[in-house]
Chain A
Amino acid sequence: MSTETLTIGKALNLGLRRAMEDDAKVVLMGEDIGKLGGVFRITDGLQKDFGEDRVVDTPLAEAGILGTAVGLAMRGYRPVCEIQFDGFVFPAYNQIVTQVAKIHARSKGKLKMPIVIRIPFGGGIGAVEHHSESPEAYFAHTPGLKVVAVSNPVDAYWGIQQAIAHPDPIVFLEPKRRYWEKASVDTDATPGPLFSSRVVRGGDDVTVLAYGPMVKTALQAAEAAAEEGRSLEVIDLRTVSPLDLDPVFESVRRTGRCIVVHEAAVTLGIGAEIAARVTETCFHSLEAPVLRVGGYDTPYPPSKLEEEYLPDLDRVLDAVDRSMEF
Chain B
Amino acid sequence: MTALRQATEVVDPVPGAGAPHLPQQPDLVQLLSPEGERVEHPDYSLDIGDDELRALYRDLALVRRWDIEATALQRQGELGIWASLLGQEAAQVGAGRAMADGDMAFPTYREHGVAWTRGVDPLQVMGLFRGVDSGGWDPLALGFNLYTIVIGAQCLHATGYAMGVQRDGAESAVLAFLGDGATSQGEVNEAMIFAASFSAPVVFFCQNNQYAISVPLERQSKVPLFQRAAGFGFPGVRVDGNDVLAVLAVTRAALAAAREGQGPTFIEAFTYRMGAHTTSDDPTRYRLASELEEWKLRDPIARLKAHLSRSGIADAAFFDSVDAEGDELAARIRSGTVDMPDPDPAGMFDHVYEEQTPTLAAQRAEFVEYHASFEGGEH
Contacts and interface: CB of A to CB of B under 8 A. Distances in A.
Binding between chains A and B: yes
Interface of A: 27, 53, 58-59, 61, 63-64, 66-77, 79, 91, 94-95, 98-99, 103-112, 143-144, 146, 166-168, 195, 241-244
Contact of B186 (A63, A66, A77): A63
Contacts of B155: 67
Given A67-B153, A76-B164, A105 B351 contact: yes
B366 to A, nearest CB: 12
Contacts of B358: 242, 244
Contacts of A144: 352-353
B355 A99 contact: no
**Of B138, B139, B354, B355, which is in contact with the most chain A CB atoms at under 10 Å from its CB?**
B354
Contacts, number: 138
Interface in B160-218: 160-168, 186-187, 190-191, 193-194, 197
Contacts of B193: 59, 61, 64
A110 B137 CA distance: 9
Given A63-B186, A67-B160, A111-B139, A168 B153 contact: no
Contacts of A58: 194
Contacts of B158: 71
A72 B134 contact: no
Contact of A94 (B134, B150, B351): B150
A64 B156 CA distance: 6
Interface in B111-143: 133-136, 138-140
A168 B138 CA distance: 19
B38 interface: no
Nearest to A75: B164
Contacts of A74: 139-140, 145, 157, 160-161, 164
Indicate the member of B133, B139, B160, B190 with the most A CB atoms within 10 Å.
B160
Given A77-B164, A77-B167, A143-B352, A59 B194 contact: yes
Contacts of A99: 148, 150, 153, 157
A72 B146 contact: no
B284 interface: no
A63 B187 contact: yes
Contacts of B197: 59
A262 to B, nearest CB: 19
Given A74-B157, A77-B167, A98 B150 contact: yes
A69 B351 contact: no
B325 to A, nearest CB: 30
A91 B153 CA distance: 12
Interface of B: 106, 133-136, 138-140, 145-146, 148, 150, 153, 155-168, 186-187, 190-191, 193-194, 197, 350-355, 357-360
15 contacts: A53-B167, A64-B187, A64-B194, A70-B160, A71-B157, A71-B163, A72-B161, A77-B164, A94-B150, A105-B351, A109-B350, A109-B354, A110-B140, A241-B357, A243-B359
B144 to A, nearest CB: 12
A110 B138 contact: yes
Contacts of B187: 63-64, 67, 94-95
Given A64-B194, A168-B353, A71 B156 contact: yes
- The secondary-structure label for the interface of chain B is helix
Contacts of B157: 67-68, 70-71, 74, 99
Contact of A108 (B140, B148, B163, B351): B351
A68 B134 contact: no
Given A108-B133, A143-B352, A167-B354, A67 B190 contact: yes
Most buried by B among A77, A94, A107, A243: A107
A254 B145 CA distance: 52
Nearest to A98: B150
Given A67-B159, A68-B157, 6 more contacts: A64-B194, A71-B163, A95-B187, A103-B146, A167-B355, A242-B357
Contacts of A98: 150, 153
Contacts of B191: 64, 67-68
A268 B106 CA distance: 37
A71 B159 contact: yes
B103 to A, nearest CB: 13
A205 B259 CA distance: 67
Contacts of B357: 146, 195, 241-242
A316 B349 CA distance: 38
Contacts of A242: 357-360
Given A64-B190, A67-B157, A98-B150, A72 B139 contact: no
A216 to B, nearest CB: 27
A76 B160 CA distance: 11
B353 A71 contact: no
